[in-house]
Chain A
């Protein structure tokens, strides 16, 4: 069981908006450690999507946005496209485990 909890799957039609939650605790997200998001297509390297809760690396479309509140964070994807179909992971740091922790991953299906 992952330290950060994500829904196993979400889905949406092209053009719609979806959100993926990442729930942590007082030893990670709630302790103020940053949350980052990755997009992972099977057979490829994970790609950094959002860092520091809400910042986007160069080249990532502004359809992707991140937010954080309390012990949770969220990734929002607007204007859903077929190419967004992938696994999405949140990541933070946990002071109790003294290490990086990932969420269990969320599979996004574009209907």
Chain B
């Protein structure tokens, strides 16, 4: 079964760093892109960026460029989303999703990681 398993919920303080993960299984991890999507409380879905684990080619939404870092470790079939200094406005659910390419649909989704940033 193809699946993406995301790391658990996080509660952090403003200014702290964080790295959440998304582990793929049931398919060849290096031949599909992994995208990240944010959903702030009560809001719509926002595409953050995407990475190709095969060669770490990474694209960012202009809205998120410089705000987060997307990376991947193909040896353990895991993609990451990280922040160096969290803000309260980073409070959201973050989903990873598999895609055949930057222009394509996302056919398999993780269940989401809830990140709460509060002092």
Hey, which bits of chain A sit against chain B, CB under 8 A? 2, 33-34, 36, 38, 40, 44-48, 51-52, 57, 89, 91, 93, 97-105
Contact = CB atoms under 8 A, between A and B. Distances in A.
A100 B95 contact: no
B44 A105 contact: yes
Contact of B47 (A33, A57, A99): A99
A103 B103 contact: no
Interface in B40-56: 44-47, 49-50
A11 B75 CA distance: 47
B117 interface: no
Nearest to A37: B105
28 contacts: A2-B44, A34-B103, A34-B104, A34-B105, A45-B109, A45-B112, A46-B37, A46-B106, A47-B109, A48-B109, A51-B104, A89-B44, A91-B47, A93-B102, A97-B62, A98-B59, A99-B47, A100-B35, A100-B47, A100-B50, A100-B61, A100-B103, A101-B47, A102-B46, A102-B47, A103-B44, A104-B44, A105-B45
